[in-house]
Amino acid sequence: MKIVGTIAEMRALCRSAKLGGKRLGLVPTMGALHEGHLSLVRAARAKTDVAAASIFVNPTQFGPTEDFSRYPRALEKDCAILEREGVEFVFAPAVEEMYPSGAATWVTVEALSDRLCGKSRPGHFRAVATVVAKLFHIIEPDAAFFGQKDAAQHAIIRKMVRDLDMPVAIEVCPIVRESDGLALSSRNAYLNAEERKSALVLYRSLRRAQELFQTGERNSAKLIAAARQEFASESNVRLDYFEIVNPDSLEPVLDTPSPSLAAVAGYVGNTRLIDNVLLGA
Ligand code: PAJ
């Protein structure tokens, strides 16, 4: 496995790996890898000939008061894991390599970028779209693998790829959860034991909406109200949003057609966590 820090070397390696018609799969990450990330790597290995991963804690997608400086970093351990998983190239550039001074170009997927997490994290999705566009230009993957965990993120990336005619297939993999339902996240490492218990309310609220949906309820306001109820008993958790939206446009829906995306975000102590389920998928 090659670990590469420069754009020029990564581009050259990936181009030569694709010679002879081999398909290249990319898994973009910010590192601190867990089983959720590894499910994407395994999908890339299964569906393409050569697997590449990127590890880059992208500063521009963190707000000024967010956790960029304390975000977990574990490059050596991550690389050992990726090597075991059969990844051929890891792209782990420095911030200055990705953003030469004076960089001023952004990729903005309008409207979608202001929905769900985009409302409380202004500029976040513009920064995600920009860094993913850069990774696609550098690595030129045939397919890129994203998690359903970040449902708004993959909706935005799918739209960007379509609008800008990028020749890359976007593959979405299911959410990997702990046995009690908590969605795996690099940020779970911030939780103490009590917060870890409280964090389950996110999935509980989604399950509540899902159960009602399965009994035939289609009124989104009622589904949302029932889900929000779950938060009443969790003083440790501040709900940011619970919404039911179209999975592509991320626009709220009134009568929960199938499929709809139920998405939740909340602060468990100081840790912001997200989760979602697809209703009627
Ligand atoms: P990161 O949070 O490291 O996530 C990398 C990928 O792993 C994303 O596609 C995310 O949806 C997926 N993932 C995370 N937790 C998962 C889980 N429990 N089950 C399945 N997939 C999971 O998302 C980012 O990094 C960044 O925004 C990035 C796309 C790399 C751009 O900087």
Mean pLDDT of each 10-residue bin along the chain, 281 residues long: 98 97 98 98 98 98 97 98 98 98 97 98 98 98 98 98 98 98 98 98 98 98 98 96 98 98 98 98 89
Nearest ligand 1 atom, CA 148 = 11
Residue 3 falls in which region: left (phi positive, over 0), alpha (psi -120 to 50) or beta: beta
Residue 128 Cβ inside 6 Å of ligand 1? The answer reads yes
Question: In testing the pocket of ligand 1, which one of 149, 156, 275 has its CB within 8 Å of the most ligand atoms?
Answer: 149
CATH top-level class of 2-173:
alpha beta
Q: What's the pLDDT score for residue 51?
A: 98
Longest dimension (CA), the chain: 59
Vertex 75 angle, CA 73 and 77, to 5°: 105
Q: Nearest Cα to 220, choosing from 266, 254, 264, 265?
A: 254
- Does the predicted TM-score (pTM) go above 0.75? yes
Nearest ligand 1 atom, CA 174 = 20
DSSP annotation string for 180-245: TSPBP-GGGGG--HHHHHHTHHHHHHHHHHHHHHHTT---HHHHHHHHHHGGGG-TTEEEEEEEEE
146 DSSP β-pair partners: 172
Q: What's the pLDDT score for residue 140?
A: 98
Contact residues for 275 (Cβ-Cβ < 8 A; gap 6+):
149, 175, 183, 202, 203, 206, 263, 264
Q: Where are the domains of the chain?
A: 2-173, 186-276
Task: State residue 99 phi and psi, 5-degree precision.
Answer: -125, 85
Q: Residue 20: count other Cβ atoms within 10 Å of its Cβ.
A: 7
Nearest CA to ligand 1 atom 28: 29
Q: What's the pLDDT score for residue 94?
A: 98
Task: Write down the CATH superfamily of domain 186-276.
Answer: Pantoate-beta-alanine ligase, C-terminal domain (3.30.1300.10)
237 DSSP β-pair partners: 268
Q: What's the pLDDT score for residue 33?
A: 98
34 as an active site residue: the answer is no
Nearest CA to ligand 1 atom 5: 29
Q: What's the pLDDT score for residue 145?
A: 99
Nearest CA to ligand 1 atom 14: 36
Q: 121-134 as b/e, with b when 16 or more CB fall inside 10 Å?
A: bebbbbbbbbbbbb
Position 145: which residue type?
A: F
Element (H, E) at 130: helix 124-139
Q: What's the pLDDT score for residue 111?
A: 97
Q: What's the pLDDT score for residue 123?
A: 98
